[in-house]
Amino acid sequence: MFMAPTKTTTTLRVPSELRDEIARIAEQRGTTMLEVVTDAVHRLGSDEWWSSVRDALDGLTPSEVATYQVEGQQLDAASMDGLDDR
């Protein structure tokens, strides 16, 4: 008999107020509490990644900024090389 693999789960203790807020958002969205938490964690990860990108860009020297801008222009030009015209 074939049985589909199951995902491992765990219990996470949160304050009641936070649990209620997650439940409220889930109800408002018409989704599950798990999906709300998953979305929040993914958004936080994305925010932190973009923050690290901004920090890295802020740390560039004027010469590195100029090189970055030239490379960006080259990528823009390459993306308009006519491949999209069909």
**28-38 pLDDT tens trace:** 999 999 999 99
**Is 38 part of a structural domain of the chain?**
yes
User: Which of 37, 6, 40 has its CA nearest to residue 23?
Assistant: 37
Report the predicted TM-score, pTM, of the whole model to 2 decimal places: 0.64
What's the structural domain count of the chain?
1
Q: Rounded to whole angstroms, how far apart are CA atoms 54 and 48?
A: 10
**Is 62 part of a structural domain of the chain?**
yes
**Is 39 part of a structural domain of the chain?**
yes
**From the DSSP assignment, how many helices (H) and strands (E) are in the chain?**
3, 0
Query: What's the pLDDT at 1?
Result: 60
Domain span at 26: 18-79
Query: What's the pLDDT at 77?
Result: 85
**Is 50 part of a structural domain of the chain?**
yes
Q: What is the mean pLDDT of the chain?
A: 89
